[in-house]
Structure 1
Amino acid sequence: MPLRPSLPLLLLALLSALAAMVIATSATRKAEAATAAAIFAVILISAALRTNAPIWRRAASTLGITQRDALMQTTQITMIAYLWCALAFYAIYLGTPIRWQHGWEYGTAMLAVAAGYAFYLWRLSDPADAVSKPRAIERAVRFASVQAILIGIGLVWLISSGKLSSLRGDWPANQLFIAGGFTVMVLSVIVIKTHASLNDRSTR
């Protein structure tokens, strides 16, 4: 299922989740802020499942989807995830009474990652570009594997460290790290599964 037709509704839902988290954070409503962050994760993971699940169930030839097409779709969602988190960091730490000295730094870092993904997508949109070649796509999938493992380790550490119960101004950041990290980790796993499914279909 192509992502583009549902993109306006997807972005509207994400903006609503962002507004809800900012409002909840302003009122120091931790549970409500965490719920808004969780909704962001559910929205993007659901979008990725909708676009990838048909590939897992049907032959790639009947869908007309290539490895590059599949990688582009999920990478677009990953870029949106980083962009959403960047905007959330800026909105919370520059637009609410909550203060944490590293808020804008992490927001800028995530914005830079989103920009990197945007540049990669721009190159990937050209079938003749080097990043669109089969070996480059294989490397991208291996990168997704490493990314999923590292994020998984980071999430275990963050949860076990007790930082989610922090009373300092970093509590919204920790919620964003959990929601954003979990989202990107799942998206990375989806990239791997879809790539394997397409490879399996092509060898039959």
Structure 2
Amino acid sequence: MKKIRIALTKGRLEEHALDIFKSIGVNVKELENKGRKLVFHCENEDYDMDFFLVKAPDVTTYVEYGAADIGIVGKDTLMEKNREFYEVLDLKVGKCKFSLAALPEFKMNEGYNRKKIATKYPEVAREYFRKKGVDVELIKIEGSVELAPIVGLADAIVDIVETGSTLKENGLIIVEDICNISARMIINKASMKTKREEITNVIEKVSKVINK
């Protein structure tokens, strides 16, 4: 049995992923009591796995370069970073959506000035407005993008929306939903060849769990 290395996104997706792996019989006790460890070994008669936890953008890097065979990461990260790997499963957890939001008076097609759009996801926003044939100025924001329209930095924002409560509390409304997003399983291309049996086994078992 060949060992599989799995990169998990820290935080809520980590919790969802552990639930899924537990449901297919993986012993994840080390991960549930992780302390300051960086790599967690999980082995029983069916699996030989190493897990490690990283930030979402780094999951794609570890998988693309082969440090991880499998990665669990949000579709938002995959849309923003164009990397080389196989996207094999929609895990149907961590569900939310990309939306265009603004103050109620915002009108996309009014006025002659090019609209300013604040976002943490410039590639997602650029593709969205390209498809709409709208020329905008994108402003990259690392913190709370909801602030940008309120203080006049931007006319609108493109951001991830889960419940919409943060928008509502700050006087913003959803102008248009862009697309739904959720957690995905990605696979290193070389690993799919060299560890095909082990990886296919994981994919098939996880697929059965999420499609119950």
Q: TM-score, normalised by structure 2?
A: 0.25
Between Structure 1 and Structure 2, which shows a larger proportion of helix residues?
1
Q: TM-score, normalised by structure 1?
A: 0.25
Higher Cα Rg, which structure: 2
